[in-house]
Amino acid sequence: MYKLLLCWRYLLTRYLALVCIVSVMLGVATLIVVNSVMAGFSTKLRERLHGLLSDIVIEAHDFQGFANPEGKMALIQSDPFLSQRIEAMTPTLEIFGMIQFNCNGTAIARPVHIIGIDPAGRARVGGFAEHLLLHKGKPSFELSSEARERQHALHPPHRLDRIAAMLLPPPPDDKPAPAPPPSSESPPSTIIIGYAIAHFRAKLNPDTPPEEVRTLAPGDDVIITTIKGHGLNGRELSPVQWRCAVCDYFKSEMSEYDANYVFVPIEELQRLRAMPNRATSIQIRIKDYRDLHAVKERLQALLPAHWELAVHTWEDKQGPLLAAISIEKGILNVLLFMIIAVAGFGILAIFSMIVVEKTRDIGILKALGASNRGVLNIFLSYGLLLGAVGAVLGSAIGTAITIYINEIEQFLTKWTGHELFDRSVYYFNEIPTDLNPGSVLVINLGAVAIAVLFSVLPALRAALLHPVRALRYE
């Protein structure tokens, strides 16, 4: 009982102990906030990457692609093992190109990644329909009524067509009027463009936060330029250009994709690139994610080697990025634990000073019957108490900051006039967090363990003091 009383007394009377508690508290709070935010970003990033790439991708080694994708999918579906585990498949045709459009009289050109898809098939493998703004959940390349009106305003019927219709002879009373000649202006192809291509954030007023500015509205024209193959085996390349009308926006909340990806009908891209019935990849979605590697191995064994097709999981495609995030998280945790280690050195210094100041008191305790083990437990309990109090306070503060981090960010942005969380990087509406109780427990145990560990040396020194020499100490 006397041990607890002494620990509590030193905790209340030693103001230097407050410094140790604050150090542990700040270290624990920082670790909880950083871990929660990094876990939130990591989880969100994995979800985005998984959805955008589907579970498994069969792809060609170059942009010339492979022939007969429907036949290859039929071959895969005919395998009994794969047919029971594959939920959906769809071919895609990918190529790099250039997009051009006008914004307030200024010509803008930028490189893009052009992907030809079947919207219904791409939706079945996931990661597409839910990211569309205008056709959310029901992917389509159709123009909305507003987009059609805008197209009509941009490309009205040719004046000569109207004149020709006026010059037609009047029809007899008992016959319908002859149909006017067809318009020379052919209807455009349609395109789904990345959200960041059609929008950007700009500070229109120095006194207000940045605002989002739209550069392309549904129905606006864009010019797509890419290459097509011709000649022997299609190896001779030449540029091809065509006009498209914007029909929707793709917003995955990842700037790398939203600023570079555009989607067009696969049949249109095959025709323009002179690649009929060809594709560069097949996206596959499986029923049970636990069968991912088994399905991959079976596909590798099923596809003939002379087809020169590579089979990758989405983790294989994004392995370096996912590994980099994991390494950064681990290194950051080590660096932040050093903050708690600094508090541990403070505990070591304070305890060493207490042992020196209380040498005579320790001698009296031993003379009254306190054992070496009892004195050792006094200082270890004191270190445990400092670590526990700091960890509990840090957990409370860290949890509160994590829960209200977006409100805190908005307040600081308004107070400082500087946007702390730039939404143009990831296009997240808010800072993602993932508060894991297991991580909070590990952080608390680590903080308490460090506090106790740095108490061992002063505690041993106090426990090994000889009672007579301690009483004679001046």
**DSSP labels, 219-255:** T-EEEEEEEEEESGGG-EEEEEEEEEEEEEEE--S-H
What is the tens place of the pLDDT at every residue in 171-208? 555 555 555 444 444 567 899 999 989 888 776 666 66
Average pLDDT over residues 238-247: 89
Secondary structure of residue 126 in the 3-state scheme = coil
Task: Count other Cβ atoms within 10 Å, centred on residue 69.
Answer: 22
Output helix, strand, coil percentages for the chain, rounded to the nearest 5. 55, 20, 25
pLDDT above 70 coverage of the chain, percent:
80
Among 87-101, 121-135, 205-219, the range of highest mean pLDDT:
87-101
Would you state the pLDDT for residue 369? 67
**Rounded to whole angstroms, how far apart are CA atoms 283 and 59?**
9
In the chain, domain spans: 2-47+321-471, 62-170+182-307
**DSSP labels, 365-386:** HHHTT--HHHHHHHHHHHHHHH
Q: List beta partners, residue 334.
A: none
Average pLDDT over residues 328-350: 78
CB of 56 within 8 A of CB of 265?
A: no
Nearest Cα to 220, choosing from 155, 143, 151, 157? Answer: 151
**Rounded to whole angstroms, how far apart are CA atoms 74 and 71?**
5
pLDDT above 80: residue 357:
no
* Owner of token pair 């395109």: 191
Alpha-carbon dihedral sign for residues 457, 458, 459, 465: positive
Would you state the pLDDT for residue 182? 46
Would you state the pLDDT for residue 3? 52
Nearest Cα to 101, choosing from 110, 92, 88? Answer: 110
Task: Count other Cβ atoms within 10 Å, centred on residue 291.
Answer: 17
Amino acid letter, residue 265: P
**Rounded to whole angstroms, how far apart are CA atoms 452 and 348?**
10
Q: Which of 200-209, 216-225, 324-333 has the lowest mean pLDDT?
A: 200-209
pLDDT above 70: residue 361:
no
